[in-house]
Amino acid sequence: MKPSLPLVAAGVLLVASTASAGRVKSTQVEASSYYPPENGVTYMPKNATDGKLATSWVEGEEGSGLGSWLKLHVPAGTKLEGVKIWGGLWASYDYWTRAPRPKQLEFKFADGSTEVLDLEDKMEAQTLMFAKAHDTSEVRVRIKAIYNGTTWFDSAISEIQLIDTSTSDHVEAKAFNVSSKLPDDGDGNYNPANVVDGVADSMWCEGSKDGDGQGEWIEVDFGGQKSISELTLINGVGGDLNAWKKSNRTTKATLTFSDGSTQVVDIKDFFLPQTTKFSPKQTSKVRVTFDEVSKGVEYNDLCVSELYFK
């Protein structure tokens, strides 16, 4: 992160969130091969489902990895509708350009049926929906075509989420407003939709030029009246404790509901996901204003990695 950069757009941003249906967790992941550890960094298949973009599966075969596969096991009877995939090496934009990214993937289900889907060459999460829901206990994801990297020859996938027909376990955000946003940099973007992507190391960061984040806010729009009583969040930059220490976190926030009423919630200055209960409320929006800030050791920006209501 380079938080000293000036704000690209001051004021309120409206950002449509990516719809998230139910997500099913894989019980086990295997691969045709994986690249051996180097300098303490691993490239094992489980890195593709650990909820972090900084960790990746990289195949370890000769050549560019065509035909390499990951197999994700899921509970029997799962009805898979699609996948959300972060193709390539997401540790930084530079790394992403240097390693091959999948261009076409074949999905094979437990009954032997297959679907082939294409990806665009962009450093964005891509949601691929199947032609139909597949009742299955596994899905094998095989690389059929790649976009070449500029430096390396081993294909990478940083994260895959499986989408099934179940409904989301939290109230879905339809849109966000924010007081400010840190501009994109070599590590990626700080868009508010990152707080609902199920990824611990993607985050929204406020972009006020001089402040530490106190008084900044993120507003979640549910698109209609919902009943809520719980806030779950990952405070600060999640996924890695050293990264977490560097940026600002919050310790107290005010929730402002669509009728103008407010409730104050205490938030722990804590690295892992946390849930706070509050008095049940019917509302179509919640603005979360950060009243108190705990300082990071390197960057003076307040970040939130996950934030959702139940």
Contacting residues toward Ca ion, per CB under 5 A: 47, 50, 52, 55, 158-159, 194, 197, 199, 202, 305-306
Q: How far is the CB of 88 from Ca ion (least distance, A)?
A: 12
Q: Which is nearer to Ca ion, 115 or 141 (CB)?
A: 141
Q: How far is the CB of 226 from Ca ion (least distance, A)?
A: 21
Helix (H, G, I), strand (E, B) or coil at 17: coil
Q: Which is nearer to Ca ion, 115 or 143 (CB)?
A: 143
- For 162-180, letters b (16+ CB in 10 Å) and e give bbbeeeeebbbbebbbbbb
Q: Which is nearer to Ca ion, 52 or 249 (CB)?
A: 52
Q: How far is the CB of 112 from Ca ion (least distance, A)?
A: 28
Q: Which is nearer to Ca ion, 117 or 199 (CB)?
A: 199
Contact assessment for residue 178 and residue 189, using Cβ atoms and an 8 Å cutoff:
no
Q: Which is nearer to Ca ion, 47 or 208 (CB)?
A: 47
Q: How many CA atoms lie within 13 A of 286 on its CB side?
A: 28
213 φ/ψ sector (left φ>0, alpha ψ -120 to 50, else beta): left
Structure tokens at 108: 């094979």
What are phi and psi for residue 82, nearest 5 degrees?
175, -175
Q: How far is the CB of 282 from Ca ion (least distance, A)?
A: 27
What are phi and psi for residue 244, nearest 5 degrees?
-60, -40
Rounded CA-CA distance 289/310 in Å is 18
Q: How far is the CB of 210 from Ca ion (least distance, A)?
A: 26
